[in-house]
Structure 1
Amino acid sequence: MKVLKKNPEKCIACHACEETCSKLYFKEENREKACLRIKETDSYPEITTCTQCGVCIDICPVVALSRDKRGIVRVEKKKCVGCFMCVGFCPEQAMFMHDDYIEPFKCVSCGQCVKVCPTGAIYMSEE
């Protein structure tokens, strides 16, 4: 399974990854709607993205999360009731929510952010 990996030491916090992600999935450049997050700190930026660990699958009371054939955790919007338990229990804090949507959202390792990262701070890796 290919998953998104991060190297914060290379991140310059240009936010191109967040803008690309939100534009791809939500049709607007809005970093609050990105499936990964870059937080600027005093040292290296913090890059938050899903590791595909599956904790959210186990915690979902309506079984709205599952793995696809690639092993990537997906939210099944038709089943989701918007309780956001997955958001609260995610060990990586990589399940996101926005007031515009009833369902949480997360990285699905599509790799589009990798293509726009100018420094290689995010990359795909086989697990």
Structure 2
Amino acid sequence: MKILSKKQELCIACGACEEVCSKTYFKEKASEKSCIKIESSKEEKINVCNQCGVCIDICPVRAISRNTLGVVTIKKKDCVGCFMCVGFCPEEAMRQHDDYVEPFKCIACGLCVHACPTGAIFIGEVEGQEAEMLEQIAASGGNL
């Protein structure tokens, strides 16, 4: 399973990852339109989807699924904009913005990895026990 991994201790809260994400997907520099969030006042600075899949079971219209790489994606044409996935995301990594009818999330594209000057974020493969744990989280609705 492909996920955006993080090393919190390396994050300097520069915002480069947020900038490249919002520019790539929304064509503007706006941190509130980034799939990754950086909080400079928290110990847990980097907030991004871990691809647990809890949102898949929450979606009433099945607009959310896991692709062949293990990445959770949203089919915008099927989404009705109920935002239940946003409210039930255990990582608080499912995003919404008033300019858009659909929620959005990290798809582990890796563009932010190239923008990060410290290596605080990187694309990683999750296998074995960690992948099983993510599947258990999804199966339990985020309540382990």
Bin of the TM-score, shorter chain as denominator length: over 0.9
User: Shift of the alpha carbon at 1:45?
Assistant: 5.4
Residue 109 in 1 paired to residue 115 in 2?
no
State the secondary structure of the residue aligned to 2:60.
coil
Aligned residue runs from structure 1 range 1-80, under 5 A: 1-41=1-41, 44=43, 46-80=45-79
Q: CA offsets per residue over residues 34-87 of structure 1, 9 Å max, x none?
A: 001001116x45211000000000000010100112111001011101000000
> Using the alignment, how far apart are the partners of 2:26 and 2:67 within structure 1?
21
The ranges of structure 1 where at least 4 consecutive aligned residues each deviate by more than 3 angstroms after the TM superposition are none
**Distance of aligned partners of 1:118 and 1:71 in 2 relative to their CA distance in 1, 3 Å threshold:** same
User: Shift of the alpha carbon at 1:2?
Assistant: 2.0
User: Shift of the alpha carbon at 1:120?
Assistant: 0.8
State the secondary structure of the residue aligned to 2:4.
strand
TM-score by length of structure 2 reads 0.85
> Using the alignment, how far apart are the partners of 2:92 and 2:44 within structure 1?
15
- Structure 1 or 2: larger helix share? 2
> Using the alignment, how far apart are the partners of 1:45 and 1:57 within structure 2?
25
> Using the alignment, how far apart are the partners of 2:79 and 2:2 within structure 1?
25
> Using the alignment, how far apart are the partners of 1:100 and 1:16 within structure 2?
22
**8 Å Cα contact 1:11/1:45 also seen in 2:** no
Aligned residue pair count: 126
Question: Mind listing any 5+ residue stretches in structure 1 that lack a counterpart?
Answer: none
TM-score by length of structure 1 reads 0.96
**8 Å Cα contact 2:13/2:45 also seen in 1:** no
**8 Å Cα contact 1:13/1:45 also seen in 2:** no
State the secondary structure of the residue aligned to 1:74.
strand
| Two-structure CA RMSD over aligned residues (Å) | 1.0
Which stretch shows the higher mean deviation, 14-23 or 45-54? 45-54
**8 Å Cα contact 1:22/1:28 also seen in 2:** yes
